[in-house]
Structure 1
Amino acid sequence: MAGNHNHHVLQLVLSCRRITAQVTNTTTSSIIAMASSSEHEFLAHYRAHLNRVPRSHRFWDAKVASRVGEKLGFRLREIGVTGVHIDPRDELSRPVHYRLMVSPLFDSIKRAGVEVSGVDGFPLCVTPSN
């Protein structure tokens, strides 16, 4: 299955409230897998940030992004996808604070056994600390 990542594109949808990662099959234009911080697992984290004082407008962080990447990586492996591609220009056009928070997502997908092409040399790759 070498090279199958050319047909699968990883796209991120980011807002201050959630992060969503979806993989699209470019030949059929259909979403084949996705993971989001709006899933049930993240509900307690979201509620904790919602009621936090002082109020914050950011409801996810690098740890949440890492877990979303892990979930997406496992879902991709389950359906037999071994590689995805990102558009580095899209990722580099994001503000620096978003790049810092999404880098662990890419690392988590790689740790799940899915190759992520297009992130080679991606600046500011950091892994969240516990």
Structure 2
Amino acid sequence: MSTNQQRHLLRLVLSCRKLTAQVTNPSTSTIIAMASSTEQEFLAQYRARLARFPLSRHNIWDASMASRVGEKLGFRLKEIGITSIGIDLDEELSRPVHHRKRVLPLFDSVKRVGVDVDGAEKLGEIGPV
């Protein structure tokens, strides 16, 4: 990708119940690839965690689920020919520490699939999360 061209942007939508990763086209802001913890393959695990008593709202999705969502997203990006994406570092650094800790495996799994995630390496440099 040339230096004057903007990179596709990976944005995360986080709540206590779900994690959604979406990659947008920088010129049109349209979503070109997406993966979520509410997809069919995660449904059984999602329901089991909701049925636990007492319900712990902070444990519906975790780092292992984030990793699997990242892997799914990475494969979808590779399928459409995208090999490099960027993140909004300021947005990621503004997240609470417990969310940053759980989304780092998402970025790692996207990289393992073969899609470069520009800016994710700086999240690991911020110290222990």
Structures share fold, TM-score greater than 0.5: yes
SS in 2 for 1:111: helix
Aligned equivalent of 1:20: 20
Letter in 2 for 1:111: R
Aligned equivalent of 1:81: 82
Structure 1 residue 45 and structure 2 residue 45: aligned?
A: yes
Give the C-alpha shift of residue 60 in structure 1: 0.4
Mapped to 1, the partners of 2:39 and 2:89 lie a distance apart of 26
Give the C-alpha shift of residue 50 in structure 1: 0.8
Stretches of structure 1 lacking an aligned partner (at least 5 in a row): 126-130
Structure 1 residue 111 and structure 2 residue 117: aligned?
A: no
Give the C-alpha shift of residue 123 in structure 1: 2.8
SS in 2 for 1:81: coil
1:97-126 Cα shifts (integer Å, max 9, x gaps): 00000000000000010000011231379x
1:18-52 Cα shifts (integer Å, max 9, x gaps): 00000000112211000000100110111110111
Structure holding more helix per residue: 2
SS in 2 for 1:16: coil
Instruction: State the Cα RMSD in Å.
Output: 1.9
Structure 1 residue 70 and structure 2 residue 48: aligned?
A: no
Mapped to 1, the partners of 2:124 and 2:7 lie a distance apart of 25
Percent identical: 62
Aligned equivalent of 2:95: 94
Stretches of structure 2 lacking an aligned partner (at least 5 in a row): none
Number of residue equivalences: 125
Give the C-alpha shift of residue 7 in structure 1: 2.8
SS in 1 for 2:41: helix
